[in-house]
Amino acid sequence: MAQILADRRDVDFVLHEQLNVETLAEHERFAEFNRKAIDLIISEARTLAVKEILPTQVDGDRIGARFDNGAVTVPESFHKAWSALTEGEWVALTEDPEWGGQGMPRSVASAASEFLLAANFAFVMYAGLTHGAGTLIETFGTEEQKKRFLKKLYSGEWTGTMLLTEPEAGSDLGALQATATPNEDGTYSIVGTKIFSSGGDHDLTDNIIHPVLARIDGAPAGTRGISLFIVPKIWVNEDGSLGEPNDVVCTGLEEKMGIHGNSTATIALGTRGECRGLLLGEANKGMRSMFLMMNDARLMVGDQALACASASYLYALDYARKRIQGRDLLQIMDKEAPSVPIIRHPDVRRMLMIMKVYVESLRSLSLYTSYCSDGIATADDPDEKARLQGIVDFLIPIAKAYTTERGLEVCDLGIQVFGGYGYIKEYPVEQLLRDCRITPIYEGTNGIQAMDLLFRKLGQNGGRPILDLAEEIRATIDSAAAVDRTAEMADAMERALIRLEEVGRNLGLTAMLKIQVAAGYAHPFLDVCGDVMVGWMLLWRARVAAEALEAGAKPKDRAFYEGQLGSAEFFTTNMLPLALAKMDVILSGSSVVVDIPEEAFAGR
């Protein structure tokens, strides 16, 4: 199979033609990231992905992380890939160079990461979790804690995780039972059990730094009484050297449907009464701190799904061009006609078009969200920072939930394009589907993302973020309306946006009067918001492409630009009407979901 994990031409299109990210170099913070530097970063990421990380994908799936006699090991190939990843300084792409980060724009880092994630996201998770743990310490830690932990985390000499979930406290973190008792030396004795800990134990590095949520003795109940602690697997002395093991014990790994290469561990803390931790940030403010990492993690999960979808689409496209099967429909009655590649068959083309539309639009949505974060980092005007932050906050649940569901759909279609071969392990698409399946679940299930969007983000700051986002969308609609080849599509998007605004107002009112009914439509509302975001991104791309064609695009680029117009037209004519129908369902206000008696569900 061709080793194409993401479409470099399309990545460049989004970065340089849609978003113009090189303009970030005009700000002192990103001065070194001109177009030449950005292109080099993307090229190096692709090389690392194909040469070092992709060869670990099968090992990760078939050998996986293993637990034996209390020790966790990862496939041997992971060690070589980890050395390449850390030697290239890929762990902390966006973080402060003072602590070993690269300080690059989030949009550029996100584009580079797509290649790495597509190669083997179960492996790259170890780096992502390490980055997240380091970010927490960089943001909320004391200077002493930063000196003690950060450089070894950001260099990949040590890894990091996040210990959140407990057997009786899954999505409801306020129910957690882990405790923290103050010691005379300023440390805390931690006792508890954490489950579903991604990268919770392994032999990739000498130490693992666990940010842990626990409740200090006497703290308030619920989320108001949760604090955050730094708990190393091996104690770290004040001079940064390693001390004794810290009574942090892996008691087993989960056997999962996918991402076998990542160790999903159960971790026992303080079974001998000897687990020590350092308070990170303020006491009883752990949840507030934790959401910093969670928001980044949710965007990363969306990128994981996008990466799986991108790889599945490109594998399916390559297969469809090479697999010879059946006669062309125009020659179906000619028994002497030769068989043709299956990409010539309309139904295969239909599936490939759906895959193309989602991969391209979700790539744009991901990079746009990151680009807004770059805008926050570079804006001097506090009002502009607040405007962009509101847009990012509104988009996060969509970028996580909608992207993971559509990414899963793309992976499913990838198998369908392959037919029977797609269902067996000879080809990579079946693993991509299994690996992708976790993304709608972890870092906050998609149902939770939908509730967050409806009950928190929709009315946040008086509804200002969604109004600001609508202004951005209308700016694209107006510019596309002025271009002949996109004018009709712009009109369709305007109607969809108006309808979505009506749905938002209606659902907001329902939430005040009939909260359970509104909650029953939270996920459909997120879904149609995602549909409109996809339509917006495709229209934006089509307008850029149409203008490039009008300006006399180079012959080698014309097919690509025509493809952008084709994607937007396909979505507008084949998929946007379905989104409008879903909006009608929401507006119907049916309460059957909450009215049906529990006893009416089967299974008793």
Q: Quick: pLDDT tens for 505-540.
A: 999 999 889 999 999 999 999 999 999 999 999 999
Top-confidence residue, 168 or 73: 73
Q: DSSP letter for 224, please.
A: G
Q: Calculate mean pLDDT across residues 334-353.
A: 95
Instruction: Determine the angle formed by the axes of helices 106-140 and 346-378, rounding to 10 degrees.
Output: 50
Q: Calculate mean pLDDT across residues 422-448.
A: 96
Q: Which long-range contacts (CB under 8 A, 24 or more apart) does 220-224 make?
A: 220/284, 221/174, 222/174, 223/173, 223/174, 223/287, 224/284
pLDDT at 223: 84
| Residue 380, helix vs strand vs coil | coil
CA distance 562 to 472: 24
Q: Calculate mean pLDDT across residues 302-316.
A: 98
* DSSP sequence for 168-203: TBSS-GGG---EEEE-TTS-EEEEEEEEEEET-S-S
Contact 209, 232 (CB under 8 A): yes
Q: What residue type is 275 in one-letter code?
A: C
Query: Cβ–Cβ contacts within 10 Å for residue 66, how many?
Result: 15
Res. 238: pLDDT tops 70:
yes
Q: Calculate mean pLDDT across residues 334-348.
A: 94
pLDDT at 292: 76
CA distance 474 to 177: 48
Task: Report the predicted TM-score, pTM, of the whole model to 2 decimal places.
Answer: 0.95
- The single residue of 22, 114, 360, 443 carrying the catalytic annotation is 443
* DSSP sequence for 3-47: ---S-HHHHHIIIIIIS-GGGGGGSGGGTT--HHHHHHHHHHHHH
Name, in order, each residue with C-beta under 8 angstroms of 34's C-beta and a sequence gap of 6 or more.
Answer: 22, 25
Q: DSSP letter for 549, please.
A: H
CA distance 467 to 387: 10
Res. 173: pLDDT tops 80:
no
What's 280-325 look like in SS3?
Answer: CCCCCCHHHHHHHHHHHHHHHHHHHHHHHHHHHHHHHHHHHHHCEE
CA 274 to chain centre: 36
| Residue 232, helix vs strand vs coil | strand
Q: Read off the pLDDT band of 411 (50, 70, 90).
A: very high
CA distance 24 to 539: 24
CA distance 38 to 16: 10
**pLDDT tens for residues 174-206?**
678 999 999 999 999 999 999 999 999 999 999
Average pLDDT of the chain? Answer: 95
pLDDT at 3: 67
**pLDDT tens for residues 95-133?**
999 999 999 999 999 999 999 999 999 999 999 999 999
Res. 293: pLDDT tops 80:
no
| Residue whose pair of structure tokens reads 């062309």 in the numeric block | 328
Res. 1: pLDDT tops 60:
no
CA 531 to chain centre: 17
CA 415 to chain centre: 22
Q: Calculate mean pLDDT across residues 383-390.
A: 96
Instruction: Determine the angle formed by the axes of helices 522-550 and 346-378, rounding to 10 degrees.
Output: 90
CA distance 471 to 222: 39
- Asked if 443 is an active-site residue, the reply is yes
Q: Calculate mean pLDDT across residues 256-278.
A: 97
Res. 394: pLDDT tops 90:
yes
Burial of 482 (0-12, 13-18, 19+ CB in 10 A): exposed
pLDDT at 170: 63
Q: Read off the pLDDT band of 556 (50, 70, 90).
A: very high
